[in-house]
Amino acid sequence: MEKRIKVIIAKLGLDGHDRGAKVVARALKDAGMEVVYTGLRQTPSQIVKTAIQEDADVIGVSILSGAHLELIPPLINLMKENGLTDVGLIVGGVIPPQDVEKLKSMGVDEVFLPGSSLKEIVEKVKKVAEKKRGIKIGQTT
Amino acid sequence: MDKLLENALKGDELSISRVLTKIEYMTDEGMKYLEELSKKAGNAHTIGITGIPGAGKSTLISSLIEEFSKRRNKKIGVVMIDPSSPISMGSFMGNRIRIQDKTMMNNVFIRSIASRGHLGGVSSEAIMLIEAMDGLGFNPIIVETVGAGQTDTEVVSSVHTITVVNVPGTGDEIQALKAGIMEIGDIYVINKAEYPEADVLYDEIKFAIDSGNWDGWKPLVLKVSALKKIGIKELVDAIEAHEKYLKESGKFTKKIDERRKKMIELIIRRKIDEKISEVINKEALDNWTDLLTIVNRIYDDVKKSL
């Protein structure tokens, strides 16, 4: 059977706006991925626990609060501590362009700023899954 | 024994999760794991939660987790099935939202799974995961079916105790008397019991049950509010009463046999389905004349390739 890419989409931290996260989750579903949507106000440890139990290939985090530089490092540390080094991490939301490289140097695989196209997001999620988990689209197990 | 399986049996969550993925995709390794785990399985009480979309199945499961973890010190397994898109084959699985506050509990392992084109509420993957979780020592195992319609009754042969979740405002007693989902429950829950129409629905379902002939277990009807946590203790009492009934009547192990037969059947069906789509996609239909000839040719090809 063909391996489907499994993605967790989560809202990290305290902002309550999840429209963007839902739109992205929907686009990934429409691209044939299996998306677990966790909803609002997730802590780094909740997201990591979900990714473990669901065996996610990619974690997608949406942040609009501006707290990305505070919340992403603990998330990355927890991922490492729990052996999720082969799981991709993408971040989207209101991220100042000057922070993109900072996030990437911490270990974030892709960062999506406002205005990113859904097509681009889908393609990059596929690439991240391929890089991290060795999943090729159309590959049968 | 294989290292990954060994760690999974010790309770390491990431190992459990990766074992389950290999089983879900029926890899050679996964099938071996399933065989190993089957030898240890047979103890878990499996509980199916079924009902229409929006009935409150996930929210109810959230309350059940809370009550069960008060009563037992075993790990609780949860399998939640959501539909796959018939167009993209992708899936949007949102059941975890309703159990957010339980996700950090150390005694609960929750796995979402997409139906992947299988109709009937429970897929081969789901039953394989139930079998594996049973072997891994989870007890009880709670299974949320795809938001089921009237004929989605496959859950019958997959779990021990079927809880059908109903909500007020979805029809009159004629619906309650119809064949299908209203025949398979061991327990009928009227969720959102704080709604004024809940009493009417209770009477209608009660009538449908009372007017039937029941041999052994007569289904229970309970009013519950999953969100307000009303009636949850009584529901778990009912679930445990059914478990006791199954064990005393010898039906507990029989149900596991049934589940395993269903699992084998669904695995075979899954494989045949894949073959059918493979063969059918190869077929060129430029000579669209004799339907029966085409059907027979494809059928022969599928038979040969199996």
Please report, in tens digits, the pLDDT of each residue of chain A (141 residues total): 778 999 999 999 888 888 889 999 999 999 999 999 998 888 999 999 999 999 999 999 999 888 889 999 999 999 999 999 999 999 999 999 999 999 999 999 999 999 899 999 999 999 999 999 887 655 544
Q: Hey, of B22, B112, B274, which one would you mutate to test binding to chain A, going by the most A CBs within 10 A of its CB?
A: B112
CA–CA–CA angle A34, B133, A28 (5° rounding): 5
More confident residue, B51 or A112: A112
Is residue B54 over pLDDT 70?
A: yes
Q: Which domains does chain A have, with CATH numbers?
A: 6-133 (3.40.50.280)
Q: ipTM of the assembly? A: 0.91
Smallest CA–CA separation between A122 and chain B, in Å?
12
At residue B149, the pLDDT reads: 60
Both structure tokens of A129: 């899954």
Residues 6+ apart with CB under 8 A from A60: A7, A8, A9, A10, A21, A24, A25, A28, A90, A91, A92, A125
- CA dist A45 and A48 (Å) reads 5
Q: In what side-by-side order are the strands of the sheet with A58-63?
A: A110-112, A88-93, A58-63, A6-12, A34-42, B91-93
Query: What DSSP character marks residue B183?
Result: G
Q: Which domains does chain B have, with CATH numbers?
A: 1-39 (no CATH), 43-252 (3.40.50.300)
Across residues B150-169, what is the average pLDDT?
79
What's the pLDDT band for B53 if we cut at 50, 70, 90? confident
Q: Are B50 and B162 in contact (CB under 8 A)?
A: yes
At residue A141, the pLDDT reads: 47
Q: Hey, of A3, A23, A50, A54, which one would you mutate to test binding to chain B, going by the most B CBs within 10 A of its CB?
A: A54
Element (H, E) at B46: strand B46-51
Among the partner residues B90, B94, B104, nearest to A34 by beta-carbon distance: B90
Question: With an 8 Å Cβ cutoff, are B21 and A141 in contact?
Answer: no
Give me chain B's average pLDDT, please: 87
Across residues B192-203, what is the average pLDDT?
88
Question: With an 8 Å Cβ cutoff, are A82 and B26 in contact?
Answer: no
Among the partner residues B92, B103, B109, nearest to A29 by beta-carbon distance: B92
* Interface residue A102 vs chain B (CB under 8 A): no
Single out the residue of A47, A6, A56, A53 nearest to residue A29, CA to CA. A6
Is residue B176 over pLDDT 70?
A: no
Which pairs with CB-CB distance under 8 Å and at least 24 residues apart come from A84-88?
A84/A48, A84/A51, A84/A52, A84/B14, A86/A132, A86/A133, A87/A51, A87/A56, A87/A57, A87/A58, A87/A59, A87/A132, A87/A133, A88/A57, A88/A58, A88/A59, A88/A125, A88/A128, A88/A129, A88/A131, A88/A132, A88/A133
At residue B175, the pLDDT reads: 62
User: Tens digits of per-residue pLDDT, B78-127?
Assistant: 999 888 888 888 898 888 888 777 777 889 999 999 888 666 557 888 89
Strands (E), chain A: 6-12, 34-42, 58-63, 88-93, 110-112
* Interface residue A25 vs chain B (CB under 8 A): yes
For tokens 């105790």, the residue is B161
End-to-end CA distance of chain B: 32
Instruction: Give Rg (Cα) of chain A.
Output: 14
Question: With an 8 Å Cβ cutoff, are A4 and B114 in contact?
Answer: yes
At residue B174, the pLDDT reads: 59
Count CB-CB contacts under 10 A for residue B138.
25
Count CB-CB contacts under 10 A for residue B97.
15
For tokens 């990714």, the residue is A51
Helix axes B28-40, B124-135, angle to 10 degrees: 50
At residue B191, the pLDDT reads: 92
Single out the residue of A56, A79, A60, A59 nearest to residue A5, CA to CA. A56
Q: Which residues of A touch B91 (CB under 8 A)?
A: 29, 33-35
Reduced to 3 states (helix: H, G, I; strand: E, B; else coil), residue B302 is helix
Smallest CA–CA separation between B236 and chain A, in Å?
25
* Interface residue A39 vs chain B (CB under 8 A): yes
Give me chain A's average pLDDT, please: 91
User: Tens digits of per-residue pLDDT, B202-255?
Assistant: 888 888 888 888 888 999 999 999 888 899 999 999 999 999 999 999 999 999
Residues 6+ apart with CB under 8 A from A113: A92, A95, A97, A100
At residue B66, the pLDDT reads: 92
Residue B177 CA, chain-centre distance (Å), reads 23
Each residue of B278-290: b (16+ CB within 10 Å) or e?
A: ebeeeeeeeeeee
Most confident of B57-61, B143-147, B237-241, B263-267: B237-241
More confident residue, B175 or B306: B306
Q: Which residues of B touch A1 (CB under 8 A)?
A: 25-26, 116, 270, 274
Is residue B177 over pLDDT 70?
A: no
